[in-house]
């Protein structure tokens, strides 16, 4: 009975000073809005990262030659096809190894001539990259060993030669003075980062090395590691093989680099963590400021309503009844702020999901949790003013002007 009286009284007094009450709760609103936006954005970002990791069925590491520094540049040891073969022969981990040799060449067909990126690789190159054929065929391992002059086109190359990739199948083109037969064209893949696989022409590794570029130095070796191994385990194995191949003595530095692509996702995770931390900070400070604001407004309210408190006491209100009334007022104020904050926070989060093309999921527990937490802020900061009210001497309070 006293409880429902306290709640109606609290709502009445909030309504009576609506503008003041709303202004008081702004910091609480910001606090809870940040919490909700943070939880939502955090979980969506996490989900996006998880998806991108599971999309790549296995983890891919890339090995590059060290970029020698200064005078060391001349001495820097290249990565070669035999390094790649050594990795293939090592059977500790059943990884897939895809060496890549890359350069630019002029490409002529009929009267058209363009400059194009050429990648030499094995059949595994397409598997590791996940490229699919649209028309014709990939080259095979036998094409590679026989150093056959065959090529597979990226999906744009045909149009760049003023024809279509389909039309070029079976035709011969001139690349750097060497004649190649086109045997296949890829499906469009879309640009990833700085290179566009659709603008590239692909030839067998040994053909590229012996007939086109005249070098057995490769630009990178991709190693696709099955899910049963961590990238760290794979790195240790790669290091072991390549250090042996390169005759690197104990204590000497590697003359190659291994990039773990999952580092990028780690980086993104880190960025998300920093972002969350920032929002937690904002939320914490806002709730703190909000709490102090509520305490201030409650002290004002207690002073303004001294005579009312005196009257209630004259009518028989116990100290606890008064205490409860003012605590409930503070808690209600903060919960209202919390609810408004949840609405603002979810809207903000919703906008972000629209722009980032993420899934919108706010855990119900986060909503309930942040509303309850703002209630607790009200409780914590409302206790002192409420105690002041409860301790008022009724005779003095009634005389108060």
Partner 1 sequence: MNVIKVNNITKHYLLGSQKVEALRGVTFGIRQGEFIAIMGPSGSGKSTLMNIIGCLDSPTNGTYHLNNKEVSTLEGDELAGIRNREIGFVFQNFHLLARNSALDNVMLPLKYAGFNRDDQLKKARETLSKVGLESRMNHQPSELSGGQQQRVAIARALVNNPSILFADEPTGNLDSQTGHDVMQLFHNLHQQGQTIILITHENEIAAEAQRVIYIKDGLIESDIKKDKV
- 211 makes contact with partner 1 (CB under 8 A): no
Interface residue with partner 1 among 280, 348, 383, 398 (CB under 8 A) is: 398
Q: Which residues pair with 108 in a beta bridge?
A: 113, 174
- Kindly write down the DSSP assignment for every residue of 71-113, as one continuous string: THHHHPPPEEHHHHHHHHH--SS--EEEEEEEEEEEEEETTEE
Of the pair 86, 398, the CB lying nearest partner 1 is at 398
**Residue 8 Cβ vs partner 1, minimum distance, rounded to whole Å:** 9
DSSP string, 103-124: EEEEEEETTEEEEEEEEEE-HH
Q: Would you count residue 16 as binding partner 1 (CB under 8 A)?
A: yes
Helix axes 81-89, 231-245, angle to 10 degrees: 120
Taking Cα atoms as reference points, which of 62, 49, 97 lies closest to residue 268? 49
Considering only CA atoms, which of 255, 259, 181, 250 is closest in space to residue 217? Answer: 255
Instruction: Please report how close the Cβ of residue 310 comes to partner 1 at its closest, in angstroms.
Output: 8
Give the SS3 label for residue 254. Answer: coil
Burial bucket for residue 263 (CB in 10 Å: 0-12, 13-18, 19+): exposed
Query: How many residues of this chain interact with partner 1, rule: CB under 8 A?
Result: 23
Length of the chain: 401
Tell me the C-alpha to C-alpha distance, in Å, between residue 13 and each of 277, 297, 366: 37, 12, 29
| 36 CB neighbour count, 10 Å cutoff | 29
Identify which of 119, 142, 115 has the alpha carbon closest to the alpha carbon of residue 129: 119
> Per CB under 8 A, does 5 bind partner 1?
yes
Instruction: Report in angstroms how near the CB of residue 391 gets to partner 1 at its nearest.
Output: 9
Question: Does position 160 bind partner 1 by CB under 8 A?
Answer: no
Using an 8 Å Cβ cutoff, are 93 and 161 in contact?
no
Query: Which two tokens mark 343?
Result: 């609405």
User: Looking at 10-18, 21-29, 60-68, 141-149, which segment touches partner 1 (CB under 8 A)?
Assistant: 10-18
**Shortest Cβ 30–partner 1 spacing (Å):** 30
Q: Which is nearer to partner 1, 59 or 313 (CB)?
A: 313
Please tell me whether residue 51 binds partner 1 under the rule CB under 8 A.
no
Nearer to partner 1, 167 or 300 (CB): 300
CB of 23 to partner 1, least distance (A): 20
* Residue 373 CB, nearest approach to partner 1 (Å): 30
310-329 binders of partner 1 (CB under 8 A):
311-321
Instruction: Supply the minimum distance, in Å, between the C-beta of residue 386 and partner 1.
Output: 16
Q: Please report where in the chains the tokens 């390169």 appear, as a residue.
A: 246
In the DSSP assignment, the letter for residue 208 is I
- Cα separation values, 32 from 29, 63, 226, 250, Å: 5, 46, 43, 56
Pick the closer one to partner 1 by CB: 127 or 393.
393
Structure tokens at 235: 């790195």
Applying CB under 8 A, which part among 8-16, 157-165, 201-209, 236-244 lies near partner 1? Answer: 8-16
Q: Which stretch binds partner 1 (CB under 8 A): 27-35, 138-146, 293-301, 308-316?
A: 308-316
Per-residue binding letters, 267-306, with partner 1 (x by CB under 8 A): ----------------------------------------
The stretch near partner 1 (CB under 8 A) out of 82-90, 164-172, 286-294, 387-395 is: 387-395
Least Cβ distance, residue 298 to partner 1 (angstroms): 18
Residue with Cβ nearer partner 1 (96 or 305): 305
Least distance to partner 1, CB of residue 332, Å? 16
Residue 11 Cβ, how far from partner 1 at the closest point, in Å? Answer: 10
State which H helix or E strand residue 265 sits in.
helix 262-304
Residue ranges in contact with partner 1 by CB under 8 A: 1-2, 5, 12-13, 16, 307-308, 311-321, 393-395, 398
């Amino acid at each position: 009975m006293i409880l429902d009286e306290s709640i109606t009284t609290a709502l009445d007094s909030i309504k009576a000073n609506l503008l003041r009450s709303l202004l008081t709760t702004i910091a609480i609103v910001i606090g809870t809005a940040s919490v909700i936006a943070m939880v939502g954005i955090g979980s969506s970002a996490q989900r996006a990262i998880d998806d991108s990791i599971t999309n790549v069925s296995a983890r891919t590491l890339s090995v590059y030659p060290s970029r020698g520094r200064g005078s060391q540049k001349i001495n820097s040891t290249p990565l070669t096809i035999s390094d790649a073969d050594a990795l293939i022969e090592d059977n500790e981990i059943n990884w897939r190894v895809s060496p890549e040799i890359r350069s630019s060449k002029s490409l002529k067909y009929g009267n058209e001539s363009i400059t194009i990126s050429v990648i030499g690789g094995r059949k595994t190159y397409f598997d590791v990259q996940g490229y699919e054929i649209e028309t014709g065929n990939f080259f095979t391992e036998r094409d590679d060993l026989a150093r056959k002059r065959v090529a597979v086109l990226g999906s744009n190359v045909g149009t760049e030669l003023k024809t279509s990739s389909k039309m070029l199948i079976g035709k011969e083109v001139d690349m750097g003075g060497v004649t190649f037969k086109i045997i296949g064209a890829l499906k469009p893949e879309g640009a990833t980062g700085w290179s566009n696989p659709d603008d590239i022409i692909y030839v067998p590794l040994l053909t590229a090395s012996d007939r086109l570029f005249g070098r057995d130095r490769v630009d990178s070796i991709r190693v696709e590691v099955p899910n049963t191994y961590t990238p760290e385990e794979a790195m240790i194995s790669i290091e072991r093989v390549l250090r042996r191949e390169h005759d690197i003595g104990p204590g000497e530095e590697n003359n190659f680099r291994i990039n773990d692509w999952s580092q990028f996702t780690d980086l993104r995770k880190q960025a998300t963590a920093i972002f969350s931390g920032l929002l937690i900070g904002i939320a914490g400070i806002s709730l703190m400021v909000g709490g102090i604001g509520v305490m201030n407004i409650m002290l004002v309210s207690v002073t303004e309503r001294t005579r009312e408190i005196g009257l209630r006491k004259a009518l028989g209100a116990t100290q606890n009844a008064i205490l409860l009334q003012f605590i409930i007022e503070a808690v209600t104020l903060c919960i209202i702020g919390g609810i408004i904050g949840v609405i603002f926070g979810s809207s903000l989060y919703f906008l972000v999901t629209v722009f980032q093309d993420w899934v919108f999921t706010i855990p119900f527990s986060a909503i309930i949790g942040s509303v309850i937490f703002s209630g607790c802020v009200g409780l914590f900061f409302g206790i002192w003013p409420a105690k002041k009210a409860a301790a008022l001497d009724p005779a003095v309070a009634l005389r108060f002007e």
